[in-house]
Chain A
Amino acid sequence: MSNDVSDVVFNRDAFLANFEGMEELVTQVIESFEENYPSLLARVKNAIDSSDMGELQISAHTLKGVVSNFYAEHCRLLAFELEKMGKEKEATRALNVFDKLSKEAGRLSVALRSVKL
């Protein structure tokens, strides 16, 4: 296991192990994340702002699925928390959690830059 700081944000070894034999995809996947995560976050934020609980559940679920590909556990758990809020239609703390998620996704994006092959 590497002790790189990025391991705090995501599990680098687990992520790379999944791409064994198709390393050329690693850079593509990271670039796709960098390109797409702001709009995924915006979708979650819009759902919170408009109190659309169904959309909050789906959009947070989508973001959770995306970050889980990088084994970014903290980020995944925050997205999951928002997904549950949407499902349970109880979003009083949603903005607070969203802020944490937004920061964590940013950290993930920065950490992933060190992995590009």
Chain B
Amino acid sequence: MHNKRIIVVDDSDFDRGLLVKALSKKTEATILDANSGERCLEVIAGNAPDLILLDIMMPGLSGLETLSKIRERFTRIQVPVLMVTSKVDASDVVECLKAGANDYITKPVCFDVAVSRIQLHLDLVNVAKEVSAIREAAAAEAVVSTFHFEINSLLSAAIATLESPDLNNPDVKEGLKSALWKIADVLKSINAVQGPSLSKCKEVADGIKLLQLGDASF
């Protein structure tokens, strides 16, 4: 949990202080605290934490209301939220999970369980990010394969034109020259794609579609 920022939100000074101390002892994370939902929103406005432990029952903004505000800005993957509740608040827990909480821990907080749950959710975030990156890379690879196919088609057409008896026709010659330059431009665009940038690939793919339409008469 090195370099991770965790916020403990609880209106009870005693419970909040205890959890902050225990987590500071048991993890290498930076543990911040907030004594209300309102204060939590102020803290995360400046810098998103890696995880939030949020008490359900608080005066002012309740845990559920605070959670809803958090979810307006951050998804479950961006900032996991673990609700902290007494064991009798089952219906509240269900409501919070439906509203976007990732999990919950019960009071009295067993610190080892809390640390394990926190670690689990930080790991899940990493896995989700990796899966997302893999998907994006696969999509980019598919787009690049399409580029190759389209370029080969254009090149085949260009090569065929080289063997045309009409090659001396200035219009055909100009068309061939233009197509070859366009192919070169597309290749340059593909080279400019750094890493699995799907949006950039799509941009280039759109360019190829325009090129095909432009060369329809060629």
User: Is B18's beta carbon under 8 Å from chain A?
Assistant: yes
Residues of A within 8 A of B214 (CB): none
With A28-B21, A36-B13, A61-B57 in contact, is A68–B26 under 8 Å at CB? no
Q: Flag whether A66 is at the interface (Cβ < 8 A).
A: yes
Query: Would A18 and B21 count as touching, CB distance under 8 A?
Result: no
Number of A-B residue pairs, CB cutoff 8 Å, is 59
Contact B86 A64 (CB under 8 A): yes
Known pairs A25-B25, A65-B107; A33 contacts B14 (CB<8 A): yes
Cβ–Cβ < 8 Å partners of A21 in chain B? 25-26
Is there an interface contact between B57 and A22, defined as CB atoms closer than 8 Å? Answer: no
Distance of A29 Cα from B19 Cα, bound (Å): 11
Considering the complex, give the chain B residue whose CB is closest to the CB of A33.
B14
Residue on A nearest B56 in the bound complex, by CB: A61
- A33 CB, min distance to chain B CBs, angstroms: 7
Fill in one digit per residue for A1-45: 1 if any B CB lies within 8 Å of its CB, else 0: 000000000000000001101100100110011001000100000
Contact residues on B (Cβ < 8 Å of other chain), bracket: 20 to 34
Of B21, B25, B58, B86, which is within 8 A of A68 by CB? Answer: B86
Across the two chains, which residue of chain A brings its CB closest to B25? A22
State which of A18, A32, A33, A54 has its C-beta within 8 Å of the C-beta of B108.
Answer: A18
Q: List 22 A-B contacts (CB under 8 A).
A: A18-B108, A18-B110, A18-B111, A19-B22, A21-B25, A25-B21, A25-B22, A25-B25, A32-B14, A36-B13, A54-B59, A58-B11, A58-B57, A62-B12, A65-B86, A65-B108, A68-B107, A68-B108, A69-B107, A69-B108, A69-B109, A70-B108
Besides A21-B25, A68-B86, A69-B14, 15 more A-B contacts (Cβ < 8 Å) are A18-B110, A25-B18, A29-B18, A33-B14, A36-B13, A58-B11, A58-B57, A61-B86, A62-B11, A62-B14, A62-B15, A65-B86, A69-B107, A70-B108, A71-B108
What is A's interface to B at a CB cutoff of 8 Å?
A: 18-19, 21-22, 25, 28-29, 32-33, 36, 40, 54, 58, 61-62, 64-66, 68-71, 80
